[in-house]
Amino acid sequence: MTKTIKIPPETVEQIKDIYRRLVKEAKFAPAAPSDGMGTIVGEQDTEAEAEQYVAQWYTEEQSDRYWCGVPDWHGRPALVFTIEAARCICGMSYARAAKLLRMAADDLENPKGPSFTAYSAKISKAVK
């Protein structure tokens, strides 16, 4: 038997607003029908997607388990910074979370550090 989760109306509206912002500001629609590689297929219905996203997000939130995926070598530092930022947000350490998110964004835009340099050198040797 599936347990029905009652979501407070203000929470529904908050998450729907967040979804609309994802679509409008980031041009990212995680609940849209896609090919699994980020390309939206078919018609996009932001309001229907937002409803679906509310249920998915709230279920994950209530279970304390969020699906994330697995990064590649270059994305790992940014993912670690982002996950640690999420933990800081849950612990109400917002300034530290903001710093970690800036580090993640910076690393995605300008990869650096010993792990990136070592891996890049290894790949360069393998390609030669």
Work out the angle between the directed axes of helices 114-127 and 76-90 (0-180°, nearest 10): 150
Predicted confidence (pLDDT) per residue in 52-79, tens digit: 999 999 999 999 999 898 999 889 999 9
Indicate the residue type of 108: L
Give the range among 64-68, 75-79, 111-115, 117-121 with minimum mean pLDDT: 117-121
- Rounded CA-CA distance 42/52 in Å is 16
Q: Report the mean per-residue pLDDT for the chain.
A: 88
